[in-house]
Amino acid sequence: MTNTDPIRFAHRHLLDIARLSVTDINQILDLAESYAETSRSADKKQSLLHGRTQINLFYENSTRTRTSFELAGMRLGADVINMSVGSSSVKKGETLIDTAMTLNAMHPDVLVIRHPDSGAPHLLAQKVDCAVINGGDGSHEHPTQALLDALTIRRRKGRLQGLIVAICGDIQHSRVARSNIALLNIMGARVRVVGPTTLIPSHAAKMGVEVYHKMSEGLKDADIVMMLRLQTERMQGSFVPSVREYFHFFGLDKEKLSVARPDALIMHPGPMNRGVEIDSEIADDLIISAISEQVEMGVAVRMACLDLLTRGDA
């Protein structure tokens, strides 16, 4: 494929969804749609990013997101380097800015960063000369996750506008939730958050969502049910009393799902805690569960992001 006059992307970095427009999001999703086809063909390799260097800088453990970014870069022909905390100088006490300056001196074209602190990618973006993609920062945003979720929904439902989307679980600590809320609001969906009072930020309504504390109310007539992962350390009496109580009130099972629309789609960013936030019967139901498709769209969306962010500086 030769794209002689590619349309430029309006942003230098992909740091958060909040600053994207409807046009930006559609541009990414449309391009990702074509990459989804490429990924399904036998010859997946392209040479669009031949000669470009992509560094994945992961300050948190990650398997699926890192692999997804790595595959996306490789399928576009880039040279991909993974740096994870365990094997880097970070362990020796180097600051984020020093690491950034060091990497910058190697002239990468794209830096993908995941960091436990909200705002770390923004700091990095100020210090390097290349494009920065936020691969998840603290409890702030995980923009490519929201984009892949949007692509999955669009493919299944044909649209985003007007859909009722219920995001369920630990909203407070979830970067996935924040990115999805931002994206869905921009695209005109109706967003609800459902979870215990202890896991929903006190000013959640100010994010433009409807807040529910009962699944029976929050899931009513929902087109999309997005389950979030509940971290184990939050389950033992500090935020919720126990796993069994959490599952009883907020775990997704057939009964709780019965109030949603009959064609409701179930999503989960993974990795799942079966029996904590989701029942296996639902997670494994290929008709209602889009969980595998989300992973597939992840690669396509990341290919689109890498493509768009490297345009213009060839």
Nearer to another protein, 155 or 213 (CB): 213
Site string for another protein, 180-199 (x = CB under 8 A): ----------------xxx-
Q: Is the dihedral of CA 29, 31, 37, 42 positive or negative?
A: negative
| Separation in Å, CA 207 to CA 143, 168, 171 | 16, 15, 12
Dihedral (CA of 101, 106, 108, 111) sign: negative
Determine the size of the site formed for another protein (CB under 8 A). Answer: 16
Q: Kindly state the smallest distance separating residue 280's Cβ from another protein, in Å.
A: 22
Closest CA to 177 of 201, 155, 196: 201
Return the number of the residue (69 or 246) whose C-beta is nearest another protein.
Answer: 246
Please name the residues in contact with 19: beta carbons below 8 A apart, sequence gap of 6 or more. Answer: 11
Among 221, 245, 255, 313, binds another protein (CB under 8 A): 245
Distance CA 72, CA 80 (A): 10
Contacting residue, 10, 244, 254, 284, with another protein by CB under 8 A:
244
**Stretch 210-239 residues interacting with another protein (CB under 8 A):** 213, 236-239
Mark 2-41 with x for binding to another protein (rule: CB under 8 A) and - for no binding. ----------------------------------------
- CA-wise closest residue to 228 among 238, 20, 105, 239: 239
- What x-and-dash track marks residues 247-286 binding another protein by CB under 8 A? -xx-------------------------------------
Nearer to another protein, 249 or 259 (CB): 249
Nearest-approach distance from CB 246 to another protein, in angstroms: 9
Q: Which helix (H) or strand (E) holds 7?
A: none
Binding mask 91-130 for another protein (x = CB under 8 A): ----------------------------------------
Least distance (Å) between residue 239 CB and another protein: 6
Q: Which stretch binds another protein (CB under 8 A): 5-13, 54-62, 72-80, 243-251?
A: 243-251
Q: Is the distance from CB of 141 to CB of 17 less than 8 angstroms?
A: yes
For another protein, which residue of 116, 162, 208, 241 counts as binding (CB under 8 A)?
A: 241
Assess contact for 209 and 251: CB atoms under 8 A.
no
CA distance 276 to 250: 8
Cβ(55)–Cβ(103) below 8 Å:
yes
Closest CA to 310 of 121, 113, 112: 112
Q: Which residues bind another protein (CB under 8 A)?
A: 196-198, 202, 213, 236-242, 244-245, 248-249
